[in-house]
Structure 1
Amino acid sequence: MALVYLGTDFHDTPLADLEKFEASSQEVLTALARQRSMLEGVVVLSTCNRFEIYFEADSFHESMDYVTSVVAQELSVEPSVVTSMLKVLYGDSVPQHLFSVAAGLESMIVGEEEISGQVKRSLSRSHKLGFASKNLNQLFQNAASVAKSVTTETGLGASGRSVITAALDLATEELSGLEGKKILLIGTGAYSRVVTAAVQRHGVEKIFVYSRSGRAEKFSNNHQTFPVTKHELAKVMSEVALVVSASGTKGFAIDGVLAQEVALLRKTSSSLVLIDVSLSRDVAPEVSSIDGMTVIDLELIKERAPQEHVNSLMKAREIIHTAVADFEANMTSRTMDPIVAALRAHIGLWVEEEIENVRRKSGNDAANEVQKSLRKVTNAILHAPSVKAKELAIDGNHEDYIRAVRLLFDIEVNEHV
């Protein structure tokens, strides 16, 4: 079995193209996890700035063709298009990449706090489909542990950096601070809760909420915000200093017509700042060219993202390097598990035969006592051989171990497990 990565992120792919991948991510996961799939397991990690597929399979080339064709089908494009956009990693490059991603080192905002949770949720989605293999589960569990270690030992991520905090920093510069100002939030999804908490920390006077799906009132009941109807939207926009849009709904939440109407209603010379952190774009492109409108979108955030301290990054890389080595050693040592299991089963048969002999001669009580004793002895005897098997696998010398097991115990062991 081999672990393989197929994916791309904001470094290599325009956000508009990433949006197409993100929109089909659940369909891709479901299609890859269907019955008769040639994969052992798969996890799809899709966020506002990355689309990644991690899978496990016996055949590298056949599985690559299969995954590529499924993605192409779900995106309604030719497989060659997918191949040209997604890069491939295998071997120790897979944990190296995922651990870096989970720790926030590959994010638009280095050390962002949200990505580790997104990594965990991607594994959960595969678990719900019953398609998270043992090795993938171990890979993602280790990634979560690495992310925690990086935060604890380097401070990266501890400050709560994220795309929205970076966007609010830019808005704060533009508006000379947010304290005492009125804010409008468009959207009531999971990300909107993060946005609400972030703007509340800035000491804003009032937060209005508008939902295209009609959930503003329900959201406001739990988040100390004030709901806005569609009829009130333009008026409220004309009165606030900042609009943060994260609806995730198809189509523009703020188009050119609405922006023009708001510009006419505004009674202040200061610009209305609009933050658009939705991958599918909530603010229409033409809005940025309207007088009195300043748009902060993902492209601008990417361009202006702050660089983290070099020493912290170096320490984080060291943590990840060690974690990758440990993961690879563990994976290699586990190739001996079937051999050790066969040895335990073989000796276990002798133990069971002896217990049954005692049971026939001396009864159940005596047999039960012998059973306890023999199993303790078995565990003690096999402990050293089990440890040695894993050590030899890591050193690449497991062939000698297999030959010794075959010679001593007459056990037929598959040498290519």
Structure 2
Amino acid sequence: MLLALSLAHATAGFDLLERATAAVAGASVPGLLHASMQPDGVRGAVVLSTCNRLEVYLDVASEAADGAAQTLVGALAQRIDMPAESLWPSVGRFESEAAAQHLFAVAAGLDSLVVGEDEIAGQVQRAFTAAQSAGASTAELDQLFQRAASTSRQVRRSAGWDGTQTSVVHLALELVSTRVPELAQARVLLVGTGAHARTAVRALASRGIRDVTVYSTTGRAPEFAERHGLVAAPNGPGALRDAVTASDVVIACTSRTELGRAELDLDARTAPLLLIDLGLPHIIDPALGNLPGVSLLDLATIGRHADLPGLGRNVVAESLVGDAVVRYKADADAGPAVTALRRHVGAVLEEEIARARSRAVDDDEAARTEAALRHLAGVLLHEPSLRAREAAAQGDLHEFVAGLQSVLGVEVTGA
């Protein structure tokens, strides 16, 4: 069965979520995946860790699901030094179809701080790719995450979400505009060159902000700046401090750089400074928001304003996710019947291929005959496979299974 455990901003709050993400921040992805697969009965795992959520998706034996959940939540509780029973109320638990529904909604941006934000689709894909690379995924998880990616693309096309009006950065800029009247003329410093930074560039451009400098400790700032038409800040001792001093707004969106008191030269400033922290754990020291002339927006503050008009629920998108879950469940339910049919046809096919090879004049004729037989088998299997999924979606799978047994003598187990 599929089992998903979720610690997200909506259920846990940002304080607890920050403690949880900080607790796993030092662990490698393979290490987290290995730890997630330690409980008995766990066949595969995908770990999704972002600034808004910490989740694990498991392919686990049904009888082992409770034990696996208890073990993993207990291990996380120990990492953040709190009783497991105190952590459980903040953990969402989803099984089977509900796990698919949750992942599809997450990947489509429907469960995000700002509905429709597009960073999450890439984060989900990278989490899945990491699990595949580490050998932690399974066929069941492969299908689940591939369907999630397809659903996400369909939702975004139908909803018309392009990332400029549906992102945390967009919402932050909405809030900033009330504090910086001439926002289009503001000097903005972007700290980071990752996915959040790319989204920030689009959001800034949509508001007509052109004076943008990018800083990165990785050395990627020049390439990033050239690609997006920005200015790259130097990378060296005191460079971040100088770049902050020359800015009106600082958007921090990378875990590789921390911004503290040492990076602020308040004596050299004549204008107010607005700091936007898009990280969890914090990138910017929260104490900086208490300094004179400095304002700080972090994810918790931004989240309290996430109900602005245009950033709420999208009924069409939610309907598309619901339809995708129905199709996913139908495919899963029809799986044993389709597998049994393919196994039966495959056995007959191999017998005919062996017979054809024994009668062939040469290897070329044998190869051509085999290719033709395999193509024919594929064509013949296509329509019944579709019918099996349709029957499952309509609740009539038992009739399809009975037909297989009556017509072909195919026994189906697990349907």
- The interval holding the TM-score normalised by the smaller chain is 0.7 to 0.9
Task: Tell me the SS of whatever aligns to 2:155.
Answer: helix
Structure 2 match to 1:131: 136
Structure 1 match to 2:67: 65
Counterpart CA distance in 2 for 1:230 and 1:388 is: 66
CA contact under 8 A between 1:209 and 1:228: conserved in structure 2? no
Taking the TM superposition and a 5 Å limit, the aligned residue runs for 1:99-110 are 99-110=104-115
Post-superposition shift, 1:371?
Answer: 6.1
Structure 2 match to 1:169: 174
CA contact under 8 A between 1:100 and 1:320: conserved in structure 2? yes
CA contact under 8 A between 1:336 and 1:390: conserved in structure 2? no
Task: Tell me the SS of whatever aligns to 1:174.
Answer: coil
Task: Tell me the SS of whatever aligns to 2:47.
Answer: strand
Structure 1 match to 2:45: 42
Structure 1 match to 2:414: 416
One-letter amino acid matched to 1:55: L
Q: What is the aligned length?
A: 405
Structure 2 match to 1:225: 232
Post-superposition shift, 1:155?
Answer: 2.5
1:29 aligns with 2:36: no
CA contact under 8 A between 1:209 and 1:227: conserved in structure 2? no
Post-superposition shift, 1:289?
Answer: 1.9
Structure 1 match to 2:266: 263
1:361-401 deviation line (CA, Å, top 9, x unaligned): x8879877876776677667766665555555556666676
Counterpart CA distance in 2 for 1:189 and 1:366 is: 55
Counterpart CA distance in 2 for 1:210 and 1:348 is: 62
Structure 1 pair 94–286 and aligned structure 2 pair: CA distance change class (3 A): same
Counterpart CA distance in 1 for 2:374 and 2:133 is: 37
1:199-233 deviation line (CA, Å, top 9, x unaligned): 45545564444446677667667652222644355
1:266-322 deviation line (CA, Å, top 9, x unaligned): 2x3x42111111111122222222221111111111111244559971212221221
Identity %: 26
Task: Tell me the SS of whatever aligns to 1:304.
Answer: coil
Post-superposition shift, 1:342?
Answer: 3.0
1:138-186 deviation line (CA, Å, top 9, x unaligned): 2222222222222222224564421112212222321113333322333
Q: Which runs of 5+ in 1 are unaligned?
A: none
Structure 1 pair 157–94 and aligned structure 2 pair: CA distance change class (3 A): farther
Post-superposition shift, 1:357?
Answer: 6.5
1:244-287 deviation line (CA, Å, top 9, x unaligned): 2223147x5123x655xx33332x3x421111111111222222
Structure 2 match to 1:9: 8
Residue 112 (structure 1) aligned to one of 113, 117, 123:
117
1:245 aligns with 2:252: yes
CA contact under 8 A between 1:273 and 1:294: conserved in structure 2? yes
1:90 aligns with 2:92: no
Residue 148 (structure 1) aligned to one of 125, 128, 153:
153
| TM-score, scaled to structure 1 | 0.80
Residue 260 (structure 2) aligned to one of 226, 248, 254:
254
Aligned-pair Cα RMSD in Å = 3.8
Task: Tell me the SS of whatever aligns to 2:234.
Answer: strand
Task: Tell me the SS of whatever aligns to 2:304.
Answer: helix
1:46-86 deviation line (CA, Å, top 9, x unaligned): 21101121121222x41442355246446635655654432
Counterpart CA distance in 2 for 1:158 and 1:352 is: 53
1:182 aligns with 2:184: no
Q: Which runs of 5+ in 2 are unaligned?
A: none
Answer with 18-27 or 90-99: which moved more.
18-27
Structure 1 pair 63–322 and aligned structure 2 pair: CA distance change class (3 A): same
